[in-house]
Amino acid sequence: MILGSHVSMSSPKMLLGSAEEAVSYGANAMMIFTGAPQNTRRKKTTAMNIPAAQAYMKDHGPQYIMGHAPYIINLGNTKKPDKYDFAIEFMKAEVQRCDALGITALSFHPGAHVGAGVPAALKSIAHGLDEVLKTNPHVSIAIETMAGKGTEVGTSFEQLAQIIDLTPHNDQLSITFDTCHTNDAGYNIKQDFDGVLNKFDQIIGLDRLSMIHLNDSKNPQGSHKDRHENIGFGTLGFDTLNYICHHPQLENIPKIMETPFVTVDAESKKTVAPYKAEIQMLTTQQFNPQMKDELIAAAQK
């Protein structure tokens, strides 16, 4: 089982600190942003402590490094050409950073049509991705399944397949399957995951699946909300997510959790990461309904 979570990457340790955090959770995979997800300011890769991290990971792990592009990149925006051109140039540099960091797949939110309509956005995204992929990166750009809030696109397997088909240089295009997003988009993850997976295979192909974002959802199927919940505490539930985590067809696919930190003190805004406890639950296949309470109690000692 390949299982991990989002981890931070910050000074001074940078990638080394990310690997140490993942190991502290008992993870054999991790996902990082190359910089803050809300902006496009990035350090040079020479400042990311890559050699020290590689030496550490050789002895301790994790074995899989996944990436996530910043949220603000929107290749579906046909109304602002200056921002579109900037997004393409940023993504060209981003895939180079991923290659330097050893990231195998970069999860990418495809974007929103901002009023121009879905067909225009899909063509725009495909053109932008093709410009990036012409640089021949080693990393796969993994287009993420989206929940459909606002004017988001990529909310159906058909739309994702169309982006791939419209991208001439598409060998390095793949998919990130987010369980929360796909549920919120309307797919019956909870009651018929095998049916959903078969549909994905028929429309896109399992060979295009690079990673799974294993997240519970705060909202019911088809809500189009995109609000993650901790494993077993949402509408999908532990049994569903445990089934996906151990699914024989997904054995070699990294599963990455982006579940929310647990609030210890609302006034001070102190929080604690849930990932060690969630990995333990999924490894033992035993749900712990007291997980949040135990995390809070341990943090208050």
258 labeled part of a ligand binding site: yes
Q: Is residue 83 part of a domain?
A: yes
Residues of the domain holding 80:
3-261
68 labeled part of a ligand binding site:
yes
> Does residue 279 sit within a domain?
no
> Domain holding 41: CATH number?
3.20.20.150
Q: Is 158 annotated as a binding residue?
A: no
Domain presence at residue 292: no
Distance CA 84, CA 235 (A): 36
87-123: pLDDT as tens digits? 999 999 999 999 999 999 999 999 999 888 999 999 9
For the entire predicted model, the pTM comes to 0.96
Q: Binding site annotation covers 109?
A: yes
Question: How does residue 266 score in pLDDT terms, banded at 50, 70 and 90?
Answer: confident
Q: What's the pLDDT at 79?
A: 85
Q: Tell me if 206 is assigned to some domain.
A: yes
Q: Provide the 10 A C-beta neighbour count for residue 264.
A: 17
Q: How far is CA 185 from the centre of its chain?
A: 16
Query: What's the pLDDT score for residue 256?
Result: 98
pLDDT of residue 112: 94
138 marked as part of a ligand binding site: no
Furthest-apart CA atoms within the chain: distance in Å: 56
Q: What is the pLDDT of residue 106?
A: 98
What is the number of helices (H) and of strands (E) in the chain? 10, 12
The whole-number average pLDDT for the span 191-204 is 98
Number of domains in the chain: 1
Question: Tell me, what's the pLDDT at 179?
Answer: 98
**Residue 59 binned pLDDT confidence (cut-offs 50, 70, 90):** very high
Mean of the per-residue pLDDT values for the chain? 96
User: Is residue 165 annotated as involved in ligand binding?
Assistant: no
**Residue 240 vs residues 19, 28, 32, 157, 257: alpha-carbon distances, Å:** 28, 22, 26, 20, 14
Cα 32 → chain centroid: 9
* Residue 77 falls inside a structural domain: yes
Backbone angles phi, psi at 171, to 5 degrees: -60, -30
Cβ proximity of 97 and 45 under 8 Å: yes
| Of the ranges 82-86, 113-117, 195-199, the best mean pLDDT one | 195-199
pLDDT at 82 over 90: no
Asked if residue 235 belongs to a domain, the reply is yes
Cis peptide before 119 (omega within 30 of 0): no
